[in-house]
Structure 1
Amino acid sequence: MSGLIELGATELATAMATGRTSAVEVMGAFLDRIAAVNGPVNAIVALRDRDSLLADAAQADAVPLDRRGPLHGLPMAVKDLTAVKGIRSTWGSPILADNIPDKDDMLPRRLRAAGAILIGKTNTPEFGLGSQSYNPIYGATATPYDLTRTSGGSSGGAAAALAARMLPLADGSDMMGSLRNPAAFCNVYGFRPTWGRVPVDPVGDTFLDQLATGGPMARSIVDLARLLNVLAVPDPRLPHGRPVEAFDQGLDIDPKGLRIGWLGDWGGAYAMEPGILDLCQSALDGFTAMGCIVESVAPPFPAERLWDAWTTLRSWSAATKLAPWHANPKTRDLLKPEAIWEVERGLALSAMEVHRASVLRSGWNVAAADLFTRFDVLALPTAQVWPFAKTQPWPTAIAGRPMDSYHRWMEVVIPASLLGLPALAVPAGFGADGLPMGMQLIGPRGQDHRVLQLGQAWHRATDWPGCRPPAL
């Protein structure tokens, strides 16, 4: 096995720039790794042919140093919820099974402009619905730490490819934990940036819907910040942009004195499988040893009100995107039940019901603002269950408590999602059976860099992603 696949994106970029390796060597190493392990993991889909990718890498090697971008020569696969020119882009749906776009969406345009070589796609659930990456086009993606269990979702292919050393860096997206849950299930980092930080093409509504965002995944915070620099450039055509920041600068700080508010299971509102809270508590002890001040926090807002607001706004959002497929009987029959459920709930909503949900969200924003006067960062588990069987669509119960929807088992991620707060999923270690789990570090809106600084201190103290999957 080539040692190149163990290197992160920043290390590879330096090695190529100094002549210690080449883009051709890097591409060959990762393609060899994909050929060796992707079968049972099923993370990379729509992979381009080897000869064309090596030819692209040779062209990258010919580019002068002063014209190379921050991702120059790095092989990357884009999450399959994004249109990539010339690469099959399905959104995990049989409706789009044969879709090959003739132009790139904004994210792949930015990756290419930064020098990345796009090799294919990473697997995702149908239209990104659900935190289990399976679909009728490509099947299910496994966590490399147990090939019988799910990698999570909806950025499950991205997280699994990173953990299995099939990619040095990956993009993802997050509405309901889709950058965070798979990071926990695959022992890597996933960062949901402040909403509006990562722009998309200005198509349709750009004012109202503020739930989903793109973001980076990596095996180190330095690499995470490197990709965020590329993605987080404001577009003047969008109304909620954020100023440019150098996220990879000034990451190393002494975290002594930083205040962390531990929300746990939200006063028992969030059912947790045994061992998850204990593992997170051990991680918090690690933060305390680093000099942070950790304090348990009582539930700051009623969980059911958060859930009420979330399910209303999510269904409304889903309906705005999927209603045309639902309206056509031929394509409606190709939608999975969860998609139909979301669309029909969304179509039944009145404008005043959506307004009421946003009022509830506004109340939570006030409560969260008060919390952030006392704490620099809030902490929650990243998931409520350990990685489960990849043949199971979603957990129907947690610790004996029934789950009343396909996504209730991921309720712990919605406090950050509802407000568009920056949330970093950090690995917290492994349970008794060797399965990984993580914890969310959540900051005030706009304080992405501060959250990444705390994540960098944690990475330097632990480097959990350095624990390679024993299954591979």
Structure 2
Amino acid sequence: MTADLVHRDATELAELIRTGEVSSVEVVQAHLDRIEATNPRLNAIVTLADGALDAAKAADEERARGAAVGPLHGVPFTVKDGFDTAGVLTQRGSPIFAGRVPDTDATGVARLKGAGGILLAKTNLPEFSYWVESDNLLTGRTNNPWDLDRSSGGSSGGESAAIAAGMSPLGLGSDLSISVRGPAADTGIAALKPTHGRIPMTGFWPRAPRRDWHAGPMARTVRDLALAYSLLAGPDGADGYSVVPREFDAGLGVSPDRAVRVGWLVDSGLGPVDAEVAATVRAAADALQGAGARVEAVDIPALQRDNALDLFARQHVMELKPAVRETVAGHEDQMFTYSKTLLATPDTSVEDYVRAEQGLERLRDGFAEYFQQHDVLLLPVTTIPAHVHQLGQFELGGRTVGPFHVSSTTVPFSLTGLPALSMRFGTSGDGMPIGVQLVSTWHAESTILHVASLLETLSQVRDRHPTL
């Protein structure tokens, strides 16, 4: 069983440890062995946390004494290297922060530890968590476990690769525009970006722009996402955007009174989408309809009126440039690709910034109208399956698009703060995972978790993890 432990999900591992069928030491050691065997090819893990085995021994002793245990008692987890971890390197993907060791844990890390989880390692990311591929000057590039020549996504690409490859059962990532959902789709795992503010960002860097940064769990199963979300959500008294009580949920949950109303789309102003990605969304729609959901193809006029990628670019140039310029001052020779590109980008005028803000308000209104008639929106996670490293402009649907086009399907929900979930539902002709994205109205995480769980049971995907 020991070798198989790296492919069990966190929920099962917690139960096996609780009942004494396996020990926490066995579980942690199995994942450390997997890291040693696999990480040299992937470069997903950038720092091992000292004391994981000691913590596992203590967890086993507590269980043997009959002490009360938390829902993650003795289970290892990993964390993206943008979150502070007490006594463990947190270098944020940049030589500017090389050797940095925080004194305290980020709120999300502290909550997973408080549930009995054991911090195993930190995972790779782009410089400052800003880009669609996890690569930087300090810790290098992460490879996709399904194909080493392809990206595992960004900015939580180290986390996605580690979980997909069995080096970790559960992780904590961050999402600004695509950063837990896209990497999850690229590597065939699942990820949840909750409503903005649901999980405090205290102890995460960078904070600009605070109104768009989200924290979210990443895992191989939907039930693990639900478990982690239940532990991570709720105010911490430090993040002013995190104010809604954890217990509040606006979702359906499982309702026997009526069928879930699902709208699906593959375009509606989002730009070209790969044919296999579009077919996977249609297959998910058909599967949900066959399972009793009310399903229909939809258009969302607000997405067609205001291009979310354009709004994102205008807003973020205005807000990010000053923060990046301040961070790299005196260290310009240590900047990587994104910082250089951002600082070379012309400033957004005040007029364009205001117009972008007004467009964002129209997007929010458009989604509010949509969710009056539907419970869930089903659409692609990324516009293409996992791409080659250092993606530049590429051809899609007869158009030339830039590398950030992979996120045209995720950005609208970061800008508006809507909860969105990514999960695998298909496979490309060349063997790469393809995901679908589920979105619900604000604070209705239970709805998309319910529908995702249903889709998981309907999935025909056979190869659940890559062979390395």
2:267 counterpart residue number = 265
2:377 counterpart residue number = 378
Is 1:410 the equivalent of 2:419? no
Q: CA deviation at 1:409?
A: 3.2
Contact 2:284 2:455 (C-alpha < 8 Å) held by counterparts:
no
1:57 counterpart residue number = 56
How do 1:288-303 and structure 2 match up within 5 A?
A: 288-301=289-302, 302=304
C-alpha deviations, 1:216-249, integer Å up to 9, x for none? 11111211111112211212344432211399x9
1:88 counterpart residue number = 89
Contact 1:254 1:457 (C-alpha < 8 Å) held by counterparts:
no
Q: CA deviation at 1:469?
A: 3.4
Distance in 1 between residues matched to 2:258 and 2:7, nearest whole Å? 31
Is 1:452 the equivalent of 2:449? yes
Q: CA deviation at 1:305?
A: 3.8
Report the 3-state secondary structure (helix = DSSP H, G, I; strand = E; otherwise coil) of the residue aligned with 1:86.
coil
- One-letter amino acid of the structure 1 residue matched with residue 369 of structure 2: D
2:465 counterpart residue number = 469
- One-letter amino acid of the structure 2 residue matched with residue 266 of structure 1: S
Distance in 1 between residues matched to 2:399 and 2:318, nearest whole Å? 27
Contact 1:93 1:137 (C-alpha < 8 Å) held by counterparts:
yes
Report the 3-state secondary structure (helix = DSSP H, G, I; strand = E; otherwise coil) of the residue aligned with 2:408.
helix
Report the 3-state secondary structure (helix = DSSP H, G, I; strand = E; otherwise coil) of the residue aligned with 1:312.
helix
Is 1:322 the equivalent of 2:324? yes
CA gap 1:174/1:38 in 2 versus in 1, 3 angstroms: same
CA gap 1:29/1:89 in 2 versus in 1, 3 angstroms: same
- One-letter amino acid of the structure 2 residue matched with residue 195 of structure 1: H
Contact 2:84 2:204 (C-alpha < 8 Å) held by counterparts:
no
2:135 counterpart residue number = 134
Distance in 2 between residues matched to 1:270 and 1:205, nearest whole Å? 29
Distance in 1 between residues matched to 2:118 and 2:248, nearest whole Å? 23
Is 1:398 the equivalent of 2:399? no
Moved more, 57-66 or 3-12: 57-66
Contact 2:268 2:300 (C-alpha < 8 Å) held by counterparts:
yes
TM, length-normalised to structure 2: 0.91
Contact 2:137 2:334 (C-alpha < 8 Å) held by counterparts:
no
Distance in 2 between residues matched to 1:191 and 1:100, nearest whole Å? 28
Q: Of the candidates 433, 436, 440, which is equivalent to residue 436 of structure 1?
A: 433
Contact 1:193 1:448 (C-alpha < 8 Å) held by counterparts:
yes
Moved more, 79-88 or 441-450: 79-88
Contact 1:253 1:453 (C-alpha < 8 Å) held by counterparts:
no
Distance in 2 between residues matched to 1:294 and 1:257, nearest whole Å? 9
Moved more, 375-384 or 298-307: 298-307
Contact 2:80 2:123 (C-alpha < 8 Å) held by counterparts:
yes
2:245 counterpart residue number = 243
Contact 1:252 1:457 (C-alpha < 8 Å) held by counterparts:
no
Distance in 2 between residues matched to 1:265 and 1:389, nearest whole Å? 23
1:227 counterpart residue number = 228
CA gap 1:104/1:111 in 2 versus in 1, 3 angstroms: same
Moved more, 408-417 or 119-128: 408-417
- One-letter amino acid of the structure 2 residue matched with residue 245 of structure 1: E
Distance in 1 between residues matched to 2:212 and 2:126, nearest whole Å? 18
C-alpha deviations, 1:320-342, integer Å up to 9, x for none? 5423124x2x3123222322333
Q: CA deviation at 1:196?
A: 0.8
- Unaligned runs of at least 5 residues, structure 1: none
C-alpha deviations, 1:399-450, integer Å up to 9, x for none? 442234x523321111211110000112121011111111111100111111
Q: CA deviation at 1:459?
A: 1.5
1:25 counterpart residue number = 26
Is 1:146 the equivalent of 2:129? no
Distance in 2 between residues matched to 1:70 and 1:246, nearest whole Å? 21
CA gap 1:92/1:400 in 2 versus in 1, 3 angstroms: farther
Distance in 2 between residues matched to 1:202 and 1:433, nearest whole Å? 40
2:334 counterpart residue number = 334
CA gap 1:205/1:87 in 2 versus in 1, 3 angstroms: closer
Percent sequence identity over aligned pairs: 34
Report the 3-state secondary structure (helix = DSSP H, G, I; strand = E; otherwise coil) of the residue aligned with 1:140.
coil
- One-letter amino acid of the structure 2 residue matched with residue 377 of structure 1: V
TM, length-normalised to structure 1: 0.90
Moved more, 82-91 or 168-177: 82-91
CA gap 1:251/1:42 in 2 versus in 1, 3 angstroms: farther
Report the 3-state secondary structure (helix = DSSP H, G, I; strand = E; otherwise coil) of the residue aligned with 1:373.
helix
- One-letter amino acid of the structure 2 residue matched with residue 437 of structure 1: I
- One-letter amino acid of the structure 2 residue matched with residue 226 of structure 1: L
Q: CA deviation at 1:129?
A: 1.4
1:310 counterpart residue number = 312
2:357 counterpart residue number = 358
Contact 1:252 1:456 (C-alpha < 8 Å) held by counterparts:
no
How many residues are treated as equivalent by the alignment?
462
How do 1:67-216 and structure 2 match up within 5 A?
A: 67-201=68-202, 209-216=210-217
CA gap 1:284/1:166 in 2 versus in 1, 3 angstroms: same
Report the 3-state secondary structure (helix = DSSP H, G, I; strand = E; otherwise coil) of the residue aligned with 1:55.
helix
Distance in 2 between residues matched to 1:400 and 1:46, nearest whole Å? 43
Distance in 2 between residues matched to 1:138 and 1:412, nearest whole Å? 29
Distance in 2 between residues matched to 1:219 and 1:205, nearest whole Å? 27
Q: Of the candidates 419, 422, 427, which is equivalent to residue 425 of structure 1?
A: 422
Distance in 2 between residues matched to 1:34 and 1:209, nearest whole Å? 33
CA gap 1:256/1:288 in 2 versus in 1, 3 angstroms: farther
Q: CA deviation at 1:349?
A: 3.9
- One-letter amino acid of the structure 1 residue matched with residue 172 of structure 2: D
Contact 2:177 2:411 (C-alpha < 8 Å) held by counterparts:
yes
Q: CA deviation at 1:131?
A: 1.5
C-alpha deviations, 1:227-286, integer Å up to 9, x for none? 112211212344432211399x9966679721111121225x412233211122122211
Distance in 1 between residues matched to 2:400 and 2:415, nearest whole Å? 23
Distance in 2 between residues matched to 1:139 and 1:165, nearest whole Å? 21
CA gap 1:172/1:203 in 2 versus in 1, 3 angstroms: closer
Contact 1:316 1:343 (C-alpha < 8 Å) held by counterparts:
no
Q: CA deviation at 1:30?
A: 1.0
